[in-house]
Amino acid sequence: MSDAKLEAVLARLYTDAAFREAFLAHPADTARAAGLQARDVDELARIDREGLELAARSYAHKRSSKTRTAPATALPSSAFGRWWAALRGLW
């Protein structure tokens, strides 16, 4: 599952500033240490650095602007939950 590992590394690059800094300083070593295959290590070393910084900033902004609240009306997921909701609806 090299693609899963690659996406995990990308996700970390987009969200982890320290990891990104280490990668930009030593891309091949960092990518190799993350368990990527050789061809991906080479490709990743040629990453669009400007795009990476822009993307990371954008994702950070998105994460901070999302106000996560507990789902007020999460629909019940279990059979018991649906039964209980139906019973409460009767009342």
Partner 1 sequence: MAVEADSRDRFGIGYRPELLAGILANLDRLDIVEAVADDFLDHGMHLRALRTLAGQVPLTLHGVSLGLAGACPVEAKRLEAFARWVDFVRPESWTEHLAFVRAGGIEIGHLAAPPRRPATVESAARNVARAARVIGAMPCLENVATLIDPPCSTMSETQWVGDVLRATGAPLLLDLHNLHANAHNFAFDARTYLESLPLHTARYVHIAGGRRVSLGNTGRVRIIDDHLHEAPAAVFELLAVVAERTSQSLTVILERDGKYPDFRVLLDELDRARTAVAVGRGRRVPTSRGVAA
Partner 2 sequence: MSGLSQRAATAVTAVVALAGTATILAVESLVSGPPFLAIYAALIAVLCGVLRVVARQTDPAEVPPGQWTDPYLLAYLSGGPDLALRTVALSLVDRGLLHANGPALSVAVPGAAALVQRPVEQRLLQVVGAGADARSILQSGTLHDGCEDIQRQLRQARLIEIGPARLGSGLLRSGIAATALLMVAVARIVLAASRGQHKIGYLIALTLLGLVLVFSSKGGWSSLVSGPSRTRAGETLLADMRQLFGTLPLRAGQIQPGGGTSELSFLVALYGLAAAPAFASSTLQSWMPPAHVAPAGMAGAESSSSWDTSGSSSSSSSSCSSSSCSSSSCGGGGGCGGCGS
Within 8 A by CB and 6+ apart from 87, the residues are none
CA 48/CA 64 separation, integer angstroms: 24
Out of partner 1, partner 2, none, which partner does residue 90 contact, by CB within 5 to 8 A per kind?
partner 2
Within 8 A by CB and 6+ apart from 6, the residues are 36, 40, 44
Residue whose entry in the numeric block shows the structure tokens 């900033």? 57
With CB under 8 A as the contact rule, the residue among 2, 58, 81, 82 that binds partner 2 is: 58
For residues 19-38, which are near partner 1 according to CB under 8 A?
A: none
Out of partner 1, partner 2, none, which partner does residue 88 contact, by CB within 5 to 8 A per kind?
none
Question: Which residues in this chain contact partner 1 in the complex, by CB under 8 A?
Answer: 1-12, 14-16, 39-40, 43-44, 46-48, 50-52, 54-55, 58-60, 62-63, 66-75, 77
